[in-house]
Structure 1
């Protein structure tokens, strides 16, 4: 009987628990991730933002706050990052502290809510080319569509987003005239409902969001992220490629492997490393680059020029494969090639330098007379001597001078056998003779 009661205890205990509220052992602490978006927006930033969002999703964060202070940057990078931000299931908030200019304004529009510092600025999102001019019609139309779409998706009036990207759209009530991209202050952003509020700090923002007691995790960029962002900057790319090309050019003119070669290879490796870390380049681009270098070196030992052409094509192809933006890479490669050609001309024509590789594989010794080389010994000692033709000269033949038989040529005329001749010129193996006249013979007898 006791045994049966013992067996009933678990059943009775479970029934008793059913009368009490369920106990949750989950962590009710709210979690906030702070992700900085600082400085120029480039493709190197895209990989960092993607990793930050994935981390926040894995940790089941309640909100991601993007603390933004950027002058803008690449359109391609902005579109890529915008897709990452708008694609997350987590709540996203932009804290503009203090600028969200150009590409930054597009990123802010892709978040669920926007809060601004009192000194904040928001807008001026026109597409500008490398010369500081408004971009072409096609690029402008694409960017205008992207800005409008981002505003509509976040429930905002797209007119203001379009005015940020198009000078021809004016908002007079905000003091915005034509020929000027719209830039909103914190107060103006709040007025047109582009901002959800004005805050003085991150703590103030957390309080506004009702998360002042939340656990805050800050995602800071690693050293690799910073290198990737630096290397993928559109201004830095042509500088790296130019340094790489110049380093290799100078190395070709220097004995042994020195500082120039090390700097050149380091610059190119830094280019590929940055693009690899940022997710733009794959290992296939590095393999193609190495193959190109090998083919260029083989060109010094293989006749034909095919290996060199294929090697240069492989190197340039690997740079394009790793670059991402074809226009920027093409411009960077053209700059590097132009500078390299000018440097080569200066080294050869102005400084008279010689490529060390050519010294090893090309015979540079001269076999000139000035260097002491002759094809045949010149018989200058015979000039002025006389002899007798052993054969007729037509115009070549044989002459006996003393006891020595010598092959000679006449000055062009026929000379018979057993005729006295005088040697008038000796040029290597060519001995020129002239028939002696009676007058010459008479002088000789005297």
Structure 2
């Protein structure tokens, strides 16, 4: 093929590409779970999913939502990402038994299509402080509440939903079922499963930015997206159960390190666990009373070991740990975000068995006769190496000691006696069967 032929081929190919555009890529739907506490991990994950949907030109994004609430800052980040998304976003409260409480109610209202599964609920979005307490009844509370009311109303009005009912979720902590939400115009549809959801979306009109689109999701299962390992770790440590465990175990390890210094494993592990638990607290609205009870409970358990108590302090310590776990977290909206009862019970039983076993060993060791050190020499046999008249030398436990007779009576060389007491570096020896001297007496030092 000469040069002119090659040029002609390029011209023909360009014309074909101009008048016959490339076949578009197959349409697909991205589906991703938004489960657990609304925090930094969920915010980053939602943003990554929406970026991928835009980059790969997905037809639709479906977020399966199940949350008790979380941080307002993370909620704002998620809702902003949804509103700015070029790809339509469906937020579906699913499966049955799931909820879109507190911050979840805002995320649901920000969606282009708000859907719920039967047996789910939405609402209870009254603001509380990060410490778990209700916002103080001051002008600050009014400012916070009014700001959130304006935000949820703007979402509802933008998506042509019932703004008055949405407002009551913030001002009155209103919580409603899926069927009630649909009848009141708070959500757009109720769907039992993903297949029925996608069927119900076909032909629905939504607005993304300045574009109006008619949804036509393809049939078949969507492309599932899950959290990365890093995001899973962040979400894992922000779980109430795990944060409770990390804080309790971390404080306990640090206390043991302080009690028996010299190593570094316990102290380092405890510090790492406390830091991870503190990160969980940053993700979760916590109650300072729960933190104090948790730390006090661990401290009382350790104190019972130190004083050699009879277990009463350990019972108080376990009670403090249980109470602290019950009130440690509280979700925005007023409802408690508790550590699970089964987790608290299991951990309390395990700690209780450990400390009562340790306490039993401590008490038993106190009753046991000393077998090492100078105190362990009392009652041992001593062979007279030099007449005790009343001071001389004896051989005890393979060593030569300076000794004195217990009652002043001489003991001849070659005789055996029994160590009655230790006075400094001098053994007080009595003849077998003799009277043991009282604890007083003078202290003498060995001459060599």
What TM bracket, shorter-length normalisation? 0.5 to 0.7
Correspondent of 1:158 among 158, 163, 175: 163
Q: CA separation in 2, counterparts of 1:330 and 1:132?
A: 8
Are 2:144 and 1:142 equivalent residues in the alignment? yes
Residues 1:127 and 1:365: Cα distance change in structure 2 (over 3 Å): farther
Q: CA separation in 2, counterparts of 1:50 and 1:327?
A: 22
Verify the 8 A CA contact 1:32 1:214 in the aligned structure 2: no
Q: How does 1:240-319 map to 2 (within 5 A)?
A: 240-253=246-259, 262=266, 265-266=268-269, 268-270=271-273, 272=275, 319=278
Match of 1:90 in 2: 87
Q: CA separation in 1, counterparts of 2:144 and 2:124?
A: 16
Residues 1:120 and 1:6: Cα distance change in structure 2 (over 3 Å): same
Residues 1:82 and 1:136: Cα distance change in structure 2 (over 3 Å): farther
SS of match in other structure, 2:75:
helix
Q: CA separation in 2, counterparts of 1:130 and 1:5?
A: 75
TM-score, structure 1 normalization: 0.54
Correspondent of 1:373 among 424, 433, 443: 424
Q: Once structures 1 and 2 are overlaid, which stretch shifts more, 38-47 or 98-107? A: 38-47
Verify the 8 A CA contact 1:114 1:197 in the aligned structure 2: yes
Verify the 8 A CA contact 1:148 1:161 in the aligned structure 2: no
Are 2:222 and 1:216 equivalent residues in the alignment? yes
Residue 218 of structure 1: how far off its partner (Å): 0.8
Match of 1:281 in 2: none
Match of 2:282 in 1: 324
Correspondent of 2:235 among 229, 234, 252: 229
Verify the 8 A CA contact 1:127 1:165 in the aligned structure 2: yes
Count of paired positions: 305
Match of 1:117 in 2: 117
SS of match in other structure, 1:67:
strand
Verify the 8 A CA contact 1:33 1:56 in the aligned structure 2: yes
Q: Deviations over 1:29-71 (max 9, x none)?
A: 2231111122443444333323333333332323211112333
Q: How does 1:58-77 map to 2 (within 5 A)?
A: 58-77=55-74
Match of 1:13 in 2: 12
Q: Once structures 1 and 2 are overlaid, which stretch shifts more, 181-190 or 125-134? A: 125-134
Residue 234 of structure 1: how far off its partner (Å): 4.8
SS of match in other structure, 1:136:
coil
Q: CA separation in 2, counterparts of 1:11 and 1:326?
A: 62
Are 2:54 and 1:52 equivalent residues in the alignment? no
Q: CA separation in 2, counterparts of 1:326 and 1:122?
A: 20
SS of match in other structure, 1:146:
helix
Q: CA separation in 1, counterparts of 2:261 and 2:273?
A: 25
Q: CA separation in 1, counterparts of 2:128 and 2:30?
A: 33
Verify the 8 A CA contact 1:42 1:233 in the aligned structure 2: no
Correspondent of 1:193 among 172, 176, 185: 185
Q: CA separation in 1, counterparts of 2:111 and 2:24?
A: 26
Structure 2 gap segments, 5+ residues each:
203-215, 310-358, 363-372, 376-420, 426-441, 444-448
Verify the 8 A CA contact 2:40 2:74 in the aligned structure 1: yes
Q: How does 1:366-445 map to 2 (within 5 A)?
A: 372-373=423-424
Verify the 8 A CA contact 2:37 2:284 in the aligned structure 1: no
Verify the 8 A CA contact 2:257 2:263 in the aligned structure 1: yes
Residues 1:164 and 1:327: Cα distance change in structure 2 (over 3 Å): closer
Verify the 8 A CA contact 2:60 2:89 in the aligned structure 1: yes
SS of match in other structure, 1:346:
helix
Residue 75 of structure 1: how far off its partner (Å): 4.0
Q: CA separation in 1, counterparts of 2:153 and 2:220?
A: 29
Structure 1 gap segments, 5+ residues each:
168-180, 276-318, 354-363, 375-426, 429-446
Correspondent of 1:350 among 308, 312, 319: 308
Match of 1:101 in 2: 101
Q: Deviations over 1:206-243 (max 9, x none)?
A: 22232133772111245654443231135643442232
Verify the 8 A CA contact 1:37 1:68 in the aligned structure 2: yes
Residues 1:22 and 1:85: Cα distance change in structure 2 (over 3 Å): same
SS of match in other structure, 1:211:
coil
- Higher-Rg member (1/2): 1
Residue 93 of structure 1: how far off its partner (Å): 1.0
Q: CA separation in 1, counterparts of 2:19 and 2:293?
A: 69
Residues 1:344 and 1:272: Cα distance change in structure 2 (over 3 Å): closer
TM-score, structure 2 normalization: 0.54
Q: CA separation in 2, counterparts of 1:346 and 1:200?
A: 55
Verify the 8 A CA contact 1:323 1:329 in the aligned structure 2: no
RMSD (CA atoms): 4.6
Q: CA separation in 1, counterparts of 2:252 and 2:89?
A: 46
